[in-house]
Structure 1
């Protein structure tokens, strides 16, 4: 194989979720582009890496020291929704029914992967709650073992503050089928039931 092509495939293959087949397809897509398009593409990668940093308030990605959401005075700054990473904010914002602010942990407690509390953005969350007039913290972490462990740890740390601590509901998704749901999902659905 051509060395330059093999190197390009290897670079794409390093990205999370990109297997060898997809990496090969992407490499050939680059070869089919005009040189000007490739230059624009590569420059956008470099600019993104140089210009995007973490918001000093919430940890979300931003080109400014403080992200657009934290700067927006129309949002309810007394409610903080805690998420694992910035991709979760994009998903929450698509739902268009949350008007508070966020706090990004940049992961979850996972000793098997070498991630402990010191690797996460938890200290800054506690500082925000202590210094600001926060009424509620919503824990919107993935409902897996690591997410649940992280939520329990944060809940324990926040118990000393006079705030509401809530967790997003989990259970059977809309359009889901009860007969195909696993035991843990059914248990969560029953626990999170609401009065109608």
Structure 2
């Protein structure tokens, strides 16, 4: 599973109603570092173990998919770094890429397998393309049903000066790093 630090403060202490030397402590909420109630479904699913099949993130809304992405780098414990794989062909299932978190969930699955991490937003994705995360260019990415993402991400613009959609920017970034992108 994964872990997160939850800061709690002691708001008060008094002799316990159970008597003896016991003390009852009242804890104060320490902030919002813990998963929100909306994120609990994803956490509960991951509590069963890392996903062994693709597309388990699909039923979640954007917030749930973002929570899923938050868990991916925490849940996998690899004792020693493995060398990056290059070359070959990867297939991205684009049927469910309807938001930015969904794009990153699907991309990680295509490149590394279910529940894996390969960035959760633009800068992290760019960092992962530089190597050290299991796969590095050059390789071929066949993006099936790419039109779903093209339409869904048409209004999202990462770099306003370019005027390209998030989808177009991701494709351009992949190609700049030496990935052959086949949109189908």
TM-score of the superposed pair, with normalisation by structure 2: 0.32
Which structure shows the bigger proportion of residues in helix conformation?
1
Q: Which has the higher strand share?
A: 2
